[in-house]
Amino acid sequence: MSEGQASDGFPVNRFRAALERRRPLVGLWTMLNAGTAVEGLARAGFDWIMLDGEHTPMSLADAVAHLRILDASPSIPLVRVVWNDAVVMKQYLDAGATTIMVPYVQTADEAVAAVRAMRYPPRGARGVAVLHRASRYGRLADYHARAEESLFLIVQVETRAAIDRIEEIAAVDGVDALFFGPSDIAASIGLLGQPSHPDVAALIDDAVARARPSGKAMGALASNAEGAERHIDAGFDFVSVASDLTILFRTAEQVAARFTARAAKAVSRKPDHTDATAAAPH
């Protein structure tokens, strides 16, 4: 694993180290769950790539394969787990995921539960195993005592209820960053399918302003390029600017539209031989 090392050789969390460079980190959401796509995207120039385990069919085994690709690339892997579940998080942590996003955190208690799932006893409740990918199969002798140093927890703020409690959630020790999901926030205030609505942007801006004093990093998903630019200019620490599905499908639509239009023009310029053929003597 290539997350970097501290002076004593213990792994350093790449995402935390990148955030310390004090510029917005630009990321891509990958939903294709295809190793070749991840491998190509890993060298496309994004600071980080999100492996989405919530809204895609990505399995734990798929995630491990993608992590192996990304750990050896310039792009930093982030993993969104399917739910705020200690058993699920244990599996991904043991598999070597070091920066984890937990969806749909609405209260401080739920944030505390996520933190506890990331930590070994006595500070948490993570199950203990020795031979797993995270500890380099037992070769990091002090892994259990120092695992927290290599981990980074992002909790997702996705509802009006979470925004109303944003100061409490941000104050939880062990939460490293808050990430705002505009689509679910929009749905929670009666604007389903309108993530770019001004009311959604206003709610997020207000929540960020209230959470900033916590010192936690702030991230957001943008629903379009204009939104991504707005988030970057507004000082978010990390921004998801696109998804592989969007890039693939929208580009495919543009290519198809361009060349079908060209083909239609070509047909209109062809002489029509139908009448001449019908009138020809037999």
Whole-angstrom distance, CA of residue 222 vs CA of residue 41: 19
Global pTM? 0.92
Listed by start position, the domains of the chain span: 14-243
Q: How high is the pLDDT of residue 152?
A: 98
Q: How high is the pLDDT of residue 1?
A: 41
Phi, psi dihedral angles at 84 (to 5 degrees): -80, 75
Q: Which residue has the higher pLDDT, 265 or 9?
A: 265
55 is catalytic: yes
Q: pLDDT grade, residue 2 (50/70/90)? A: very low
- Spatial neighbors of 104 by CB under 8 A, at least 6 apart, are 83, 84, 156, 158, 159, 184
| Structural contact between residues 27 and 238, judged by C-beta atoms closer than 8 angstroms | yes
| Structural contact between residues 187 and 162, judged by C-beta atoms closer than 8 angstroms | no
Query: Where would I find the H helices in 122-224?
Result: 143-146, 160-164, 166-170, 182-188, 198-211
For the segment 166-177, what is each residue's pLDDT rounded down to a tens digit? 999 999 999 999
Q: How high is the pLDDT of residue 8?
A: 80
Whole-angstrom distance, CA of residue 260 vs CA of residue 58: 34
Q: How high is the pLDDT of residue 279?
A: 54
Q: How high is the pLDDT of residue 12?
A: 95
> Mean pLDDT for the chain?
94
Whole-angstrom distance, CA of residue 97 vs CA of residue 74: 16
Distances (CA, A) of 174 to 82, 161, 200: 20, 21, 27
The active-site residue, picked from 55, 197, 231, 282, is: 55
3-class secondary structure, 159: coil
Q: How high is the pLDDT of residue 282?
A: 55
Whole-angstrom distance, CA of residue 181 vs CA of residue 171: 19
Q: pLDDT grade, residue 22 (50/70/90)? A: confident
Q: How high is the pLDDT of residue 272?
A: 67
Q: What's the CATH number of domain 14-243, 3.40.190.10, 3.20.20.60, 3.40.50.300, 3.30.1370.60?
A: 3.20.20.60
